Amino acid sequence: MAVDFAQTVKEQADIVKIVGEYVRLRKAGAQNYSGLCPFHKEKTPSFSVHAGRQFYHCFGCGQSGDVFSFVQKIENVPFPEAVRSVAQKCGIPLPKRDFASPEEAAEHRQRGKLLELHEAATAWFEEQLQSPEGATAREYLTGRGLTPEGIAKFRIGYAPDSFHALRERLQSMADVETLRATGLFSWKEQEDGSPGPIYARFRKRVMFPIANEAGRVIAFTARTLETGEKAGPKYLNSPETALYSKGQMLFNLDKARQAIRADGGAVLVEGQMDCISVFLAGIPNVIATSGTAFTEAQVRLLKRYATRVIVNFDPDTAGANAAEKSIALLTEEGFDVRVLTLEGGLDPDRYVRERGARAYAEVLRGAPAFQDYLVERARQLYPGRDPKSKTEALNYLLPHIRRIPSRIARDAFANDAAQALGIDSALVRAELKDAAARRRDSLAPHQQALTRSEQILLQAFSGPRSSEAYLVAEGAWHEHEREFAAMRDDVRTMVERLRGRADGVDPLTAVEDEEQRKILAELFLSIHDAEPEADDVEEAVVAIRRSALEQQQRRLRAEIDQAERAGKMDEALRLTREMQDMTRRVRELD
């Protein structure tokens, strides 16, 4: 990726808009926007985006950088990918691609090929659904309440009862090694250990495509239409491939993400059929874990779009356990969580079909907060009113209470739980105290703050070279370089980096050290954008010189003491003269 192309993209991209696609941002100042950090758990926003300087910074976890580093981190892609992605978002035409290494080029080609093959397979499965052999599959889907429009919307298809038909369809597009890598085929190992001929993995199954966030098909879930012994598993998923990792994605996020971002909330269901039914019933912000246990990666993915989640899993034991695990992960990440349990033992798909979309929307609105749900569940699991049952119920709830990041919310939950279970709330609070202490210990040590003078100096050196503030600072630096040598190491390094940068280079780009970049980013976010006044810079320079000189005086005094005690009178005399010179220079500053 040519550097000048990246530069062009950076100049045209608006970081507020790009970040805004992942984080809900609010205006927090003339040029500042803030929101919940997508890189760490938090309930109150400490993540800022600066429109003027085009960077982001999190005061909580310290992540910061420009638009490319943001996309790199959030999409987990290398730099060239991030540049291309930002260019695409801004409608900037891409130059012909070049890669860092032949491996990277090969990997990119492979992914492109796999996407192409999935697209071809999806189209072919769709065709097969309309073929005479697809009749049973069509009946099955109609029986589940799906209209032709709904089927087309989700690109549902049918894999015929054939070992070879799919291979015949795809073999002109790729070599057999690439076909193996799609996950659409199986093969048997031969006697010499080499892989045998490939055959269709999915046969006589209804094919539900799984798309990535961009809407490209990357895998399938296949439901069998066989009955009896031959049927195999009811649902069969694509294996993990270069395109697909099941714990990393959420079903229907491609279609739901706009609505989720607009609303700030998502409905989380278990099965793909639940998700499809609820979506087609007119609830656009629904996504599914699609049969896997909810993972941390999925929570982080969701966090880019939502702050609230209604969990609506199946009402059986497995569903309740899955809901409980999901609640734990979501509350830990600071989500506002509610839990819906549908009456009559219905799953979302059947509920929507039997009671209608409006009834479902209604119960969604009335879904209880997760605290109420958990207290209710604790009482169901340990219904006795004896001390042993109460203790068990409390022990069931405590881990959930501890997980809540906000202390106020935690205490409120503890009090409610104590009351509901008939336990002394002091006891619950005592149990929680240990957890609070552990939480405090894990906090990072507070870093040293910049003095006001250091702030002004850094600000001056961050401005354009022709500005008055810069010229004053530069003049002082030039003249008193030896004195500045005594200032804080990291601040001095930053100044040197800023002074050494070429015209037009972003100050944050010039500072290489990550800790230092963080300090500078925090400074930019805390001050008004205007350049400092020349007078203020002069004053700051004096203050910094004074503190440097005073520091040297302290050191000299100690050295003089030491020399005198050791009887080195010549040395003591020389140091005393140096001290007098130092005192004179401090006086000159006044």
The residues of the shown chain that bind Zn ion, judged by CB under 5 A, are: 37, 39-40, 58, 60-61
At 127, give phi and psi (nearest 5°): -60, -45
Q: Which is nearer to Zn ion, 40 or 350 (CB)?
A: 40
Q: Measured from the CB of residue 60, what is the shortest distance to Zn ion in angstroms?
A: 4
Token pair belonging to 155: 């690109």
**Residue owning tokens 């202490």:** 437
Q: Which is nearer to Zn ion, 274 or 333 (CB)?
A: 333
**Residues whose CB falls within 8 Å of the CB of residue 396, separated by 6 or more in sequence, listed in order:** 377, 378, 381, 382
Q: Measured from the CB of residue 306, what is the shortest distance to Zn ion in angstroms?
A: 17
Q: Measured from the CB of residue 75, what is the shortest distance to Zn ion in angstroms?
A: 17
| Nearest residue to 505 (alpha-carbon basis) of 567, 544, 462, 560 | 462
What's the rounded Cα separation, in Å, for the pair 252 and 68? 26
Q: Which is nearer to Zn ion, 60 or 291 (CB)?
A: 60
Token pair belonging to 558: 């100690």
What's the rounded Cα separation, in Å, for the pair 321 and 267? 18
**Residues whose CB falls within 8 Å of the CB of residue 552, separated by 6 or more in sequence, listed in order:** 486, 582
Token pair belonging to 105: 């080029």
Q: Which is nearer to Zn ion, 28 or 115 (CB)?
A: 28
| Nearest residue to 456 (alpha-carbon basis) of 515, 511, 527, 521 | 527
- What DSSP element (H or E) covers 312? strand 308-312
Q: Which is nearer to Zn ion, 37 or 166 (CB)?
A: 37
Q: Measured from the CB of residue 77, what is the shortest distance to Zn ion in angstroms?
A: 19
Residue 456 C-alpha from the chain's centroid: 34
Q: Measured from the CB of residue 40, what is the shortest distance to Zn ion in angstroms?
A: 4
At 233, give phi and psi (nearest 5°): -65, 150
Q: Measured from the CB of residue 459, what is the shortest distance to Zn ion in angstroms?
A: 24
Q: Measured from the CB of residue 38, what is the shortest distance to Zn ion in angstroms?
A: 8
C-alpha distances out from residue 310 to 288, 347, 456, Å? 12, 14, 48
Q: Measured from the CB of residue 57, what is the shortest distance to Zn ion in angstroms?
A: 9
Neighbours of 517 (CB within 10 A): 22
What's the rounded Cα separation, in Å, for the pair 86 and 68? 7
Q: Are 68 and 84 in contact (CB under 8 A)?
A: no
Q: Measured from the CB of residue 59, what is the shortest distance to Zn ion in angstroms?
A: 8
Q: Which is nearer to Zn ion, 40 or 353 (CB)?
A: 40
Q: Measured from the CB of residue 350, what is the shortest distance to Zn ion in angstroms?
A: 41
Neighbours of 493 (CB within 10 A): 14
Neighbours of 458 (CB within 10 A): 25
Q: Are 526 and 458 in contact (CB under 8 A)?
A: no
Token pair belonging to 332: 């830990």
Q: Measured from the CB of residue 42, what is the shortest distance to Zn ion in angstroms?
A: 7
Q: Which is nearer to Zn ion, 58 or 549 (CB)?
A: 58
What's the rounded Cα separation, in Å, for the pair 64 and 514? 9
Q: Which is nearer to Zn ion, 61 or 412 (CB)?
A: 61
Q: How far is it between the farthest Cα atoms of the chain? A: 109
DSSP state of 133: G
**Residues whose CB falls within 8 Å of the CB of residue 368, separated by 6 or more in sequence, listed in order:** 338, 339, 376
Q: Measured from the CB of residue 429, what is the shortest distance to Zn ion in angstroms?
A: 29
